[in-house]
Amino acid sequence: MSALSSEQKRLCSQISANTRWAHHDPREELKPAHDGWRQRFVDEVDPNRELPEAERERRATSAMRAYMARLALQSSKARARKREDRATTHGTRSAYTAGCRCEPCRSANAAYMRGRKAALP
């Protein structure tokens, strides 16, 4: 038997996952993981279980929202750094395509487009 390519491995994994979820309810299968995730925030806001249940749940929900907002902020900062890294060489078409619209980058893009038009039959 020959080795599978990465595309074939991906398809095998997809078949396996879809077969599993065709025979089992994913909500039931993932309930322990979801409960553990939720418990993390309950433990964070009320480790000694001193608060009323409704207040504990309200605070756990807020803690989870704060956690997700922190993740979103980190992701946004990482994307911004990546954009900055791509567009540091001004006066090039690659900087223009990365979003820079300074005059040197616009000129470089215009020159590129003129060259493409001249190359057309």
More reliable by pLDDT, 73 or 94: 73
Tokens read off for 78: 């990482």
Instruction: Supply the DSSP symbol for 74.
Output: H
Residue 107 burial (CB count, 10 A): 13
Task: Compute the distance between CA of residue 119 and CA of residue 111 in angstroms, rounded to an integer.
Answer: 12
Predicted confidence at residue 86, as pLDDT, reads 62
- Domain residue limits, the chain: 23-86, 89-121
Predicted confidence at residue 88, as pLDDT, reads 65
Predicted confidence at residue 99, as pLDDT, reads 85
pLDDT reading at 119 higher than 60: yes
Question: Cβ neighbours of residue 56 under 8 Å, at least 6 residues apart?
Answer: 42, 45, 46, 49
Task: Compute the distance between CA of residue 109 and CA of residue 107 in angstroms, rounded to an integer.
Answer: 5
